[in-house]
């Protein structure tokens, strides 16, 4: 992606039919709609949560803004608003005076890139430009978060163009600050949703808080949802006003620190299913190895293989042995996945994945040890080749 300094080119969307719901546009990998039924933070929340790389375009009657995201993080923004340019950001920040401002605009009007013009005029050193662009882009994002009307489109693309920089912006903090600057109750209410919704801290919140320093008010509201609570009860328990508490709940929700308890339960169930499928697949990989080794041994010693299997199981540690309860390896050394999972559930183990791999690896060690102890190097070599398939 290009790293050149951007100009102040404005952008415009082609006229499109809008709706109050997201409408998929499969031919150009985009969705579009209006802000009448959603909010900018809600759109950002979805893009952040799914880690999308996309361009979120926001169009109102008086301006057109574009937010550029990589892997769910805002990296740049542009606006057609005349007060949102780099020169205006420098004037507001006291980096230049009014005379410098006019001179800079003359340079840019002569088709000179703004970054180059700033350095040529000696207003800033090249290594100081990044901070100015971060300040300018952050202001665009903060203002866009407060949009109450207009249309939007989301284009899922990484083709941002050469004038787009990748800035180290703190997306979560920008979203929170933008929401906490909102002064329209109708927008807060729209973003917050129904007051009887049950909310709670998101499961991933603890691992993300170290990157996001919450202030005392935000930490207070966040602590109120350590257990699932209706939004209305959170407002009642907070030492802040209902207005300020509602705004913070919306802000924390928008950066996925707070989530619906029902949504959390659905995610947990989905993850449990996905984990079970993954475990079953990996148990089957080990079973294929056990089965192949069993057949090699059977070719050598026939029915005495059953005694051999008994000796394999004896190498399982006492801590692991209960997980094999009810499991017979007479089926060519294969482990019954359903019975193994029943044993895990009955044990109350909180780390089923670790236990499963411990059981499988201890059984594998038992096979390898007994093969090495009782057979020649030729069979041992064949078994080692089979075992190596686990890492392929």
pLDDT band per the 50, 70, 90 thresholds, residue 243: very high
Residues with Cβ within 8 Å of 272's Cβ and at least 6 positions away in sequence, in order, are none
Among residues of the chain, what percentage have pLDDT more than 90?
39
| 236/305 Cα distance (integer angstroms) | 70
The C-alpha angle with vertex 217 and arms to 213 and 219, in degrees rounded to 5, equals 50
Q: Could you read off the pLDDT of 265-291 as tens digits, one per residue?
A: 445 555 555 566 788 888 889 999 999
DSSP secondary structure letters along 192-251: H--TT-EEEE-TTHHHHHTTS---HHHHHHHHTTSS-EEHHHHHHH-SS-HHHHHHHHHH
Beta-bridged to residue 155, according to DSSP, are 30, 55
Q: Can you tell me the mean pLDDT for 89-113? A: 82
Reported pTM: 0.60
Helix, strand, coil % (nearest 5) of the chain?
A: 55, 10, 35
Model confidence at 19: pLDDT above 70: no
């Amino acid at each position: 992606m290009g790293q050149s300094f951007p100009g102040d080119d404005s952008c415009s969307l082609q006229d499109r039919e809008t709706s109050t719901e997201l409408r998929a546009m499969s031919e150009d990998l985009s969705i579009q709609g209006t802000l009448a039924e959603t909010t900018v933070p809600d759109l950002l929340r979805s893009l952040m949560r799914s880690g999308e790389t996309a361009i979120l375009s926001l169009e109102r009657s008086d301006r057109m803004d574009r937010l550029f995201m990589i892997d769910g993080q805002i990296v740049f923004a542009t606006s057609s608003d005349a007060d949102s340019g780099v020169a205006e950001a420098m004037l507001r920040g006291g980096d230049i005076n009014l005379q410098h401002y006019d001179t800079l605009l003359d340079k840019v009007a002569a088709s000179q890139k703004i970054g180059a013009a700033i350095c040529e005029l000696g207003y800033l050193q090249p290594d100081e430009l990044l901070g100015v662009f971060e300040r300018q882009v952050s202001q665009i994002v903060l203002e866009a978060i407060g949009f109450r009307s207009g249309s939007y489109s989301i284009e899922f693309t990484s083709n941002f163009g050469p004038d787009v920089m990748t800035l180290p912006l703190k997306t979560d903090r920008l979203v929170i600050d933008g929401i906490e600057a909102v002064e329209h109750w109708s927008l807060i209410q729209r973003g917050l949703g129904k007051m009887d919704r049950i909310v709670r801290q998101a499961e991933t919140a603890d691992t993300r808080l170290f990157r996001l320093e919450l202030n005392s008010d935000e930490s207070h509201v966040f602590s109120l949802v350590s257990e699932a609570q209706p939004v209305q009860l959170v407002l009642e328990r907070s030492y802040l006003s209902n207005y300020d508490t509602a705004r913070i709940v919306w802000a924390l929700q928008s950066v996925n620190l707070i989530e619906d308890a029902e949504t959390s339960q659905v995610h947990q169930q989905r993850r449990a299913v996905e984990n079970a499928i993954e475990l079953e697949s990996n148990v089957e990989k080990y079973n294929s190895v056990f089965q192949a080794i069993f057949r090699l041994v059977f070719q050598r010693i026939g029915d005495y293989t059953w005694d051999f299997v008994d000796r394999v199981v004896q190498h399982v540690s006492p801590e692991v042995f209960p997980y094999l309860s009810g499991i017979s390896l007479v089926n060519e050394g294969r482990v019954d996945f359903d019975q193994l999972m029943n044993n895990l559930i009955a044990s109350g183990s909180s780390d089923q994945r670790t236990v499963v791999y411990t059981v499988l690896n201890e059984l594998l060690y038992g096979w390898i040890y007994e093969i090495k102890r009782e057979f020649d190097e030729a069979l041992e070599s064949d078994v080692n080749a089979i075992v190596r398939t686990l890492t392929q």
